[in-house]
Amino acid sequence: MCGIVGYIGTKKAYPILIKGLQRLEYRGYDSAGVAMISDSGDLNVYKAKGKVDNLTEFCSDKDISGSVGIAHTRWATHGEPSARNAHPHYSSTHNLAIIHNGIIENYATIKAKLQTKGVEFKSDTDTEVLVQLVEYVMVKKNLTLLEAVQVALHQVIGAYAIAIVDKRDPRQIIAARKQSPLVVGIGEDEFFLGSDASPIIDYTDKVVYLEDGNIAVIRLGEELRVMSILGEEQELNVKTVDIDLGQIEKGGYNHFMLKEIFEQPECLKNCMRGRINVEGNHVTLSAMIDYRQQLLSAKRIVIVACGTSWHAGLIGKQLFESLCRIPCEVEYASEFRYRNPVVTKDDVVIAISQSGETADTLAAIQLAKEQGAFIYGICNAIGSSIPRATDTGTYIHVGPEIGVASTKAFTGQVTVLSMLALCLASERGTISEEQYKEMVKELTLIPEKQEQALKTNEQIERLAPIFTYAKNCLYLGRGYNYPLALEGALKLKEISYIHAEGYPAAEMKHGPIALIDSEMPVFVIATRDRLYEKVISNIQEVRARGGRVTALVTEGDTQIQKFADHIITLPDTLECFQPLIASIPLQLLAYHIAVCKGKDVDRPRNLAKSVTVE
């Protein structure tokens, strides 16, 4: 994680850098910093612990002149969050400053070597090692900045997106990437840098997504040059980005998270647009057309993902197994990559990732590729690393997700998994034509039903204060609603800091039941499906121990209200699509509880939106 911004041109750099950092704060907010070459030629570095606002306050009485600069918002890996460890980092002479997103794994070895040569370090970070190494080889071998960066990167093991400025050459920024994202924006007599395109799109829509192992030489008055670390010139692949600015502003909501929860009906329409033909009740995915054979011959599906995307994967498993009769396993990417898993060329590996940058998911893809599996990506961020590393895939098209707690990406992922499962099931003949059409039709009705589910917002806002004093909460569900119980608990943990656990409702009696008392709220997803009666019994088990139950029920339900403390009523749908609707009240619950507790909903402590370190 960490967010990187850069500017070189004729405008004042500072406001552009700060605005860019604010857009990238979702990538981390342990500290923020900026390095600018001032009008008088000084290289000024200013940094502050915490959010970007702290940095702007710190800079209020500083020299912020200059038209070239780099800036960084940090999610700490090496070294505690502090101004000292914040980026940018100077080299010893203060001629160079660097920003970095990623991890230099062999930093300790390089640091020890440099220390024997007399280099002194000011921070505990792996990043400072890189800038000191660049300066050391620059001086020792009398190299240009570009040459020194090439030599240094050759010695480095790890992941990085970096940008370096040299005060002796204020017309240049050198940037490079390996496994961490970096985008260069090309304007008129100006260039921009960003970890994604969001800090750039106000100024230009022409961007180059830097490829792994490449260096960008950004010189004012010259064409952008991209080369490999070894110096081989690369062809410029300039793309036009099309991100609606309104999509990344709050649009009248107090928080991005609330805005994103409310956007879901529209997002899912976008996700299905052009893929579901409503008249014919038919799903077409371009990946299914281009790679029909590879997908249909799958003997097994393995889903790799992290966090919320992993929960979406658990729903995918049930879809693939019950509709397509294809065995499916769901793996935490971080475990999969290190446990020598059995993967064969008969497997289709589906990587799910909102950001498309999660380091563990990328590594899991790499491993599966080496074993010959066919790789399918389900991502949101267009042009990000995962879609580029996969054989094919489907974008969820829900627009930029800024709130750190994932909401609309989850329902987008489940929608794509549903469409894919329907395509496969229909082609494999594992569901009847009639069932297929009925299911496709129902999927198209989900946005409307989500609108109805969103009407529970006021009720949930009123309920939320009751739960703010809870220390622990339990979320229960069965079948398709079990992954949703996990997701509901994760949302609450992430933003309200209340400990919460998701459990399969029937499994509760094998442990968590011991914890139940009147202090522990229990949220039960008890919508009408095959397991409805069984879930009622589970609710009774909770009630018998004095537990307080809030149940999510299907409209028309008359039974559960007799013994639940609170009920939240949702529209009916097919069992397999229930998570698309029931996720909404769970997201709203977490949101309102966190707001009542006065928490920073969009930027919860210790978390980052995009986890580009393992």
Please list the active-site residues.
2, 609
Q: Which is nearer to ligand G6P, 132 or 355 (CB)?
A: 355
Q: Which is nearer to ligand G6P, 69 or 316 (CB)?
A: 316
| Strand 499-504 with 548-554, pairing | unpaired
DSSP annotation string for 496-520: H--EEEEEEGGGGGGTGGGG-STTS
Least CB distance to ligand G6P at residue 590 (A) = 12
User: Are the C-beta atoms of 72 and 32 separated by less than 8 Å?
Assistant: yes
Q: Three-state DSSP class for 521? A: strand
Smallest CA-to-CA distance from 136 within 124, 118, 154 is with 118
Structure tokens at 443: 């999927």
At a CB cut-off of 8 Å and minimum separation 6, what does 52 contact? 18, 21, 22, 25, 29, 32, 73
Q: Which long-range contacts (CB under 8 A, 24 or more apart) does 114-120 make?
A: 119/92, 120/92
Q: Which letter, b or e, does each residue of 443-469 get, where b requires 16 or more Cβ atoms within 10 Å of its Cβ?
A: bbebbebbeebbebbeebeebbeebee
Q: Which is nearer to ligand G6P, 194 or 307 (CB)?
A: 307
Least CB distance to ligand G6P at residue 210 (A) = 19
Structure tokens at 424: 């496969």
Q: Which is nearer to ligand G6P, 58 or 497 (CB)?
A: 497
Q: In what order do the strands lie in the sheet with 328-332?
A: 328-332, 300-305, 347-353, 374-379, 392-395
Q: Which is nearer to ligand G6P, 259 or 548 (CB)?
A: 259
User: Are the C-beta atoms of 458 and 586 separated by less than 8 Å?
Assistant: no
Integer Cα distance of 449 and 444 in angstroms: 10
Other beta carbons less than 10 A from residue 290's beta carbon: 12
Integer Cα distance of 489 and 504 in angstroms: 12
Integer Cα distance of 23 and 199 in angstroms: 6
Q: Which is nearer to ligand G6P, 406 or 573 (CB)?
A: 406
Least CB distance to ligand G6P at residue 605 (A) = 12
Q: Which is nearer to ligand G6P, 77 or 406 (CB)?
A: 406
Smallest CA-to-CA distance from 308 within 474, 483, 48, 125 is with 483
Residues that bind ligand G6P in the complex, under the rule CB under 6 A: 306-309, 353-355, 358, 361, 404, 406, 607, 609-611
Other beta carbons less than 10 A from residue 566's beta carbon: 17
Integer Cα distance of 484 and 578 in angstroms: 9
* 24 φ/ψ angles, rounded to the nearest 5 degrees: -100, 5
Integer Cα distance of 481 and 487 in angstroms: 10
Q: Which is nearer to ligand G6P, 111 or 259 (CB)?
A: 259
Q: Which is nearer to ligand G6P, 123 or 358 (CB)?
A: 358
Q: Which is nearer to ligand G6P, 123 or 385 (CB)?
A: 385
Least CB distance to ligand G6P at residue 449 (A) = 24
Residue closest to ligand G6P (Cβ):
307
* 278 φ/ψ angles, rounded to the nearest 5 degrees: -65, -40
Other beta carbons less than 10 A from residue 327's beta carbon: 14
Q: In what order do the strands lie in the sheet with 214-219?
A: 89-90, 96-104, 158-166, 172-178, 214-219, 225-228, 233-234
CA dihedral 28, 33, 39, 43 (to 10 degrees): -130
Integer Cα distance of 89 and 35 in angstroms: 9
